[in-house]
Amino acid sequence: MLLSLPAPPVIAEPSGSNPKRFDQVGWHRERTLLVPIRRGAFLRFRKGRGRCPLERIHNFNPGPAALPLEVLRQAQRQLIDYRHGGMSIMEMSHRSSDVERLFEETGQLLLKLLGLDASYTVLTMGGGASMQFAMLPLNAKESGKAGGYVVSGSFSEKAYQEARFVGDATVLASSKNANWRTLPAVDDLPLDPAMAYVHMTTNNTIEGSQFRHFPDTGAVPLIGDMTSDMLSRVIDYRRFAMCYASAQKNLGPAGVTVAVVRKDLLDVFAKVRQLPSILRYSTYAQHKSMYNTPPVHAVYMMKLVLEWTERQGGIAAIEQENRRKAELIYGVIDQSDGFYDGLIAKSDRSMMNMTWRMADEAMEKRFVLESEANGFDGLAGHRSVGGIRASAYNAVPYTACKALAEFMLDFRQRNG
Ligand SMILES: *Cc1c(COP(=O)(O)O)cnc(C)c1O
């Protein structure tokens, strides 16, 4: 099968003293030439695709995650000269009109995509979703009221623990005893009208579950950590008084976090006094998210992703595509006679993060290794859960999911 090829590349181990030669160059499925560059990593050359058609990998990473190729190319073109200003956006003052406009337009576009009007404000900040876990109870604390938490996975539990650290917090519903394999019921939460807010995680990134409906919390503000599913599906975002997301799943690269806050809630937060300025939501609102130096480049990338989302036809079109992608993978799982064993109850499965187990850890390990040799990345489950997780965020194309479904069928045939 091997053609006459140059010798395999000889490269040094990263730590290494002696140059080492790994395995051999070989064909995968007679279609793709694999050239090992280090253990577990190959260059791929497709047959009949002309010279050096080095491909991008099928990226199923949970976050930071895939970005649309179109967006990366756009950023590449503008990298050293943003809007003919003779410098990169990364080199610009955040007090310049270009950057001010960038922030303004980014916020407007996000509201538009989410179907929200001017009764909401978009705040951008650093610190990730994890900082929101702390900031939210800190800003609510002086009201003297407790935050209520729906605990459905490890991120929502982290949010709850941070709130407990700050002050008063209660669990309204939890599926911890079910090992997060199902979602807790949210129809009959023991709500107290005097609660500061109800917090929930709309998509549980690590476990792979996703809420399809949301509690009616009446006058109590509902707050959603939507880090791993904002923009991925049509929901009535107006049901949330605030939703937040760090960017590295669906919105862009890591470095920026958005909090979309209804203005009446912002008014409540504005009364807080016992809190350093940098931790107050009202500071970000007053200074248009530029109280101090903001993550300008991350916001710029997010804007490109938002524009891309709009070009795809907005959230509705994206959701349809996400549904097709998830059906492919879950289809393979459900027709595998238990070879692939879905972690989450069917009715609660996530379209973003699909999780399953296999016969044993050795098999799972082999699945991951072989997937890497076949051009996939990021499929190992979270270290706290194990198993396999395929994260198919908005920017992961249908073709990548198709390739994964085919690989799963093939793997099962060889190992089932
Ligand atoms: C990734 C993630 C987080 C943590 O985000 P950081 O930006 O790393 O702090 C929190 N919640 C959810 C739902 C996530 O997916």
Helix or strand or coil: residue 304? helix
Which residue has its alpha carbon closest to ligand 1 atom 13?
227
Q: Is 130 annotated as a binding residue?
A: yes
Average pLDDT over residues 233-237: 97
Residue 318: how many other CB atoms lie within 10 Å: 23
Q: What pLDDT, on the 0 to 100 scale, is given for residue 1?
A: 33
pLDDT > 90: what percent of the chain?
Answer: 82
**pLDDT tier at 142, thresholds 50, 70, 90:** confident
For 250-267, give one letter per residue: b (16+ CB within 10 A) or e.
Answer: bbbbbbbbbbbbbeebbe
Q: Is 248 annotated as a binding residue?
A: yes
Q: What is the sign, positive or negative, of the torsion defined by CA atoms of 226, 231, 235, 237? A: positive
Q: Number of H helices and number of E strands within the chain?
A: 10, 19
Which residue has its alpha carbon closest to ligand 1 atom 1?
227
Average pLDDT value over all residues in the chain? 91
Which residue has its alpha carbon closest to ligand 1 atom 14?
227
Average pLDDT over residues 245-264: 98
201 in contact with ligand 1, CB cutoff 6 A: yes
130 in contact with ligand 1, CB cutoff 6 A: yes
Average pLDDT over residues 334-361: 98
Q: What pLDDT, on the 0 to 100 scale, is given for residue 7?
A: 43
Indicate if the pLDDT at residue 328 is higher than 80. yes
pTM (2 d.p.): 0.88
- For residue range 179-197, list pLDDT tens digits in order: 999 999 999 999 999 999 9
Q: Is 360 annotated as a binding residue?
A: no
Q: What pLDDT, on the 0 to 100 scale, is given for residue 88?
A: 96
Domain ranges within the chain, ordered by starting residue: 1-55, 72-311
Residue 223, CA atoms < 13 Å, CB-side half-sphere: 27
CATH number of 72-311: 3.40.640.10
The rounded distance, in Å, linking the Cα atoms of 277 and 84 is 36
Q: What pLDDT, on the 0 to 100 scale, is given for residue 23?
A: 55
Average pLDDT over residues 132-159: 95
252 in contact with ligand 1, CB cutoff 6 A: no
Which residue has its alpha carbon closest to ligand 1 atom 2?
227
The rounded distance, in Å, linking the Cα atoms of 247 and 2 is 44
Q: Is 264 annotated as a binding residue?
A: no
Helix or strand or coil: residue 407? helix
Atom of ligand 1 nearest to the CA of 131: 9
